[in-house]
Amino acid sequence: MTDLINGIHHITAIASDPQRNLDFYTRVLGLRMIKLTVNFDDPATYHFYFADESGSPGTVLTFFPFPSARRGQVGAGQVGVISFAVPANSLDEWQRRLAGLNVSSLGIQERFGEQVLPFQDPDGLRLKLVGVPYERQIPAWEAGPLPVDMAIRGFHGATLLVGNLDGSARLLEQVFGFERLHETGSHLRLKASHAQLGNHIDLILTDQAGLGGAGTNHHIAWRTPGDADQLAWLKKLRSLGYHVTPVQDRQYFHSIYFREDSKILYEIATDGPGFTIDESIESLGSQLRLPPWFEADRETIQAQLPTLQLPVTVNQ
């Protein structure tokens, strides 16, 4: 078993209008839609996957878009902010781009010695661009809609809003292997030093209760290499008293779920099989894909889903 978590695998959030969500993440942020499928637990709802060119772990942001969803309330038990890594010298251009597209930002700020640009998506989901010096080590999507020198590389990390700071930190440090970098009162910064993407986690203590809905996070998934490692994590976590689900087949990875001490829904997901098992890398996200157990109901499922205008990749 690999006894360390390799950073963030993916993050899943809730949106309202499907087309608006799709347009924002592909046209404004320049991510690639790498999979168009359905919520495996509710096939009348889309499940969008946005990522880098191939859907590498550590780059994947997914959404359940419910057209009638009410705005949620960000608070304890949720991911409060999702942070993306961008080239360090690109934040000025990003600020101009967002302003030109009528996306309000809070301006470039400094946090923990890093330059950051906080803003929100159309549903109010809190996002942040973080200028990083290591972008040349991570390939960008060269055929994407944004220049390589400003393209998002993947996750920098996430801010977790917790009601039990000690319990949440203990799991990340003592079980997952994160290191404590900074501590300021009710704010801890941790890092998975062995991971390159999705390795910075901020824990902020709050007594504000979270309420699910559009603009809030559904869960955060952590990386593990494969099935054997995942089964070892399942056994270990159950031995520590966490109520962990059996392994779930998510087609592109396998998953286990549990709630940590502050009730944030955690997933541990395998790196494979990956997103090219049912589409070529060139055609990722170009049509609705269903798992084999839903194929017999494809016509019924498609009839329930809103019509979408899918993105066309055009270099700007």
In a domain? residue 3: no
Q: What is the pLDDT of residues 131-153, one digit of tens each?
A: 999 888 898 999 999 999 999 99
In a domain? residue 303: no
Give residue 1's pLDDT. Answer: 58
Burial of 124 (C-beta count, 10 Å sphere; 0-12/13-18/19+) = middle
In a domain? residue 302: no
In a domain? residue 300: no
In a domain? residue 312: no
Give the total residue count for the chain.
Answer: 316
User: Of 249, 230, 263, 246, nearest to 294 (Cα)?
Assistant: 249
The pTM of the whole model exceeds 0.75: yes
Q: How far apart are CA 223 and CA 269, in angstroms?
A: 5
User: Of 146, 8, 27, 24, nearest to 90 (Cα)?
Assistant: 146
In a domain? residue 137: yes
Q: What is the CATH number of the domain that holds 50?
A: 3.10.180.10
Which residues span the domain enclosing 165?
8-295
How many Cβ atoms from other residues are within 10 Å of residue 277's Cβ? 10
Give residue 125's pLDDT. Answer: 98
Q: Which residues of the chain have pLDDT under 50?
A: 314-316
∠ CA 63-172-8 to the nearest 5 degrees?
30
Contact by Cβ (8 Å): 159, 118: no
Domain count, the chain: 1
In a domain? residue 230: yes
In a domain? residue 309: no
Give residue 245's pLDDT. Answer: 98
